Amino acid sequence: MIWYDMTDADFVRKPGSVANVGRLWPDLVKVFLDMRIALSKKIDDLIPHLGGHPDNFRDFCYAQQGMLITSIVLEVGLQTKLMTLFTLTGFQCFYLKSLAFYDFHTKWKDVLSSASQKRPADTLIVGAVMCHLHVAQMFCMAGVPVWLFRAPYQIASDIKIASVVTTTNDFDGLVKDIFPNTACIMCSPPSPKGISGHANRFNLDRAFGL
């Protein structure tokens, strides 16, 4: 439901309103409220176990507060249809942020810090697109789908290219283009003999998956 697309039928106009205002359909609002309450309860139970400085869970508090405010507006606020749509998408954004923070602290934090061998990619999660090589490698080791963007000027001049490879269809529907003046390479730290081994594939301009 968190990916729900609001339709015209979901907007209930207030009878007699001259400003054409109204609210989201009450049954939908109740679903979103129940989702917020359930996730907030999980977060409230988790925060005492995080320990350390309050900054460690500042993002949690920010996202929770955003969920609370937007859900209250959806429940009681009279708005135009467009503003109702904005409020709903705001709630969805804060909910997904809260869920991402929760998943990170309950699952990925330990996995990312302890992954010594590459885990199979978890295709049930969205993954990440980034330009930070070391973070992308860490995600790759933990089984997080990740795409790395690197411009040619970001490639070290002393990098060792073991072999040129072509793109592979690791994920259905993923667009993988090799642009002019770029190349796909196999990159890893040099071995004692000065020959690169097999590691994460990436394109110099647009990555096609690690």
Q: What is the pLDDT of residues 74-118, one digit of tens each?
A: 999 899 989 999 999 999 999 999 998 888 888 877 777 776 777
Task: Specify whether 78 is located in the same domain as 156.
Answer: no
Task: Specify whether 155 is located in the same domain as 98.
Answer: no
Task: Specify whether 65 is located in the same domain as 132.
Answer: no
Task: Specify whether 135 is located in the same domain as 199.
Answer: yes
So what's the pLDDT on residue 34? 93
Residue 208 lies in a domain: no
Task: Specify whether 135 is located in the same domain as 109.
Answer: no
Residue 1 lies in a domain: no
Work out how many domains the chain is built from and give that number.
2
- Closest-CA residue to 75 (of 119, 29, 7, 134): 29
Task: Specify whether 83 is located in the same domain as 14.
Answer: yes
Task: Specify whether 136 is located in the same domain as 107.
Answer: no
- In this structure, what token pair is assigned to residue 42? 């999980």
So what's the pLDDT on residue 177? 58
Is the CB of residue 174 less than 8 Å from the CB of residue 121?
A: no
Tokens 């679903």 -> residue: 31
Q: Please, which residues have CB within 8 angstroms of residue 102's CB and are 6 or more apart in sequence?
A: 39, 42, 43, 46, 60
Task: Specify whether 55 is located in the same domain as 132.
Answer: no
As a whole-number percent, the residues of the chain with pLDDT over 70 amount to: 74
Give the residue numbers spanning the domain of 32: 8-114
Run of H or E residues at 187: strand 184-187
Task: Specify whether 135 is located in the same domain as 194.
Answer: yes
Residues pairing with 201 in the sheet:
186
Global pTM value: 0.63
Task: Specify whether 107 is located in the same domain as 141.
Answer: no
So what's the pLDDT on residue 181? 62
Could you tell me the pLDDT band of residue 46, with boundaries at 50, 70 and 90?
confident
3-class DSSP state of 41: helix
Instruction: Name the domain boundary from 114, 139, 155.
Output: 114
3-class DSSP state of 22: strand
Q: Distance (Å, rounded) from C-alpha 152 to C-alpha 148?
A: 13
Q: Distance (Å, rounded) from C-alpha 77 to C-alpha 135?
A: 42
Residue 209 lies in a domain: no
pLDDT tens for each residue of 2-33: 888 888 888 988 888 777 899 999 999 999 99
Task: Specify whether 96 is located in the same domain as 71.
Answer: yes
